[in-house]
Copies of this chain bind each other. A is one copy, B any other.
């Protein structure tokens, strides 16, 4: 299905992270090489790599870069530097919890390594960290596959699906989250259409989802975000699939700005609304969505498109990158561990306890 790599580690412990530069799609397919923590930080911050799961995978490899940059010969001394750089990477974007989840996991791996090998050299630590980062990558590919399997039954045969932003292959190491059930349905020769919201301001739907689905031979139609309501009213949308950047313990889900109004429209038109996300997207420390931090991004994202002004100079702008969809608007959350219908705190707790 996927004929490109969203991200991949090249080489051994002295290697680097290669990323598809998503800022340039669909006009140019180019890859960039992150050889330093700073380069990766910038790549995440400026959305060269984006999508909650992909950010998590990238952050895992980011710790391998941090380990390269640690010039101490003993692993124990290096860990302090690595921790500092992990804290730095954590500041690149505030909303997607997968970033913190991956950094936490890598820090634990480092801690465990030096506890078990107190006299090891930094090179040995580097090997251990690269193995863990690669494991996060592999698990992400497997996670996408399982979300695809679990969600495929919700893709309406002969109908149409609406999706928002990009929760596809470009947002993960694998085939995507929200788009994984769609790719799975295609494998099963199901016939259906996809409507892709363009997703202002950064147009991830127009640039990435439309590109990715068209490349895969899926029947995709691009719309502006404000056209979804009229399609629903006309009965042309049978299901909505989006990803998520952070899900609270009660099922409230932060996702790309514009997701919440879709959930209200879905409710008003009796259309099922699915969120597809890996278990690493859940932040069980947060009771509900009110405490999810929402990233505010620069006004220029709204007032300029490709450096061309589309609004008056110095106009005031409100530009939140995400909104929060309350659990009661979500028909089901599709995870790699299973499907949580009408999500609530109890059901979510259960799926994590089973694991």
Contacts and interface: CB of A to CB of B under 8 A. Distances in A.
Interface in A254-311: 257-258, 260-261, 264-265, 267-268, 302-303, 305-306, 308-311
A199 to B, nearest CB: 7
A200 B226 CA distance: 7
Contacts of A313: 26
Interface stretch (A65-73, A202-210, A336-344): A202-210
A26 B311 contact: yes
B310 A203 contact: yes
Interface stretch (A12-20, A102-110, A118-126, A216-224): A216-224
A220 B316 contact: yes
A214 interface: yes
Interface of A is mostly: mixed
Interface in A38-65: none
Given A226-B226, A261-B229, A310 B318 contact: no
Given A207-B310, A210-B315, 20 more contacts: A200-B224, A206-B310, A206-B311, A207-B311, A214-B315, A220-B316, A222-B302, A222-B311, A222-B315, A222-B316, A223-B317, A224-B225, A224-B258, A227-B318, A229-B323, A230-B260, A261-B265, A264-B268, A268-B268, A308-B308
Can you list the 10 inter-chain pairs with the closest CB atoms, starting with the nearest?
A226-B258, A229-B261, A200-B224, A230-B323, A206-B311, A225-B226, A221-B316, A26-B312, A211-B312, A305-B305
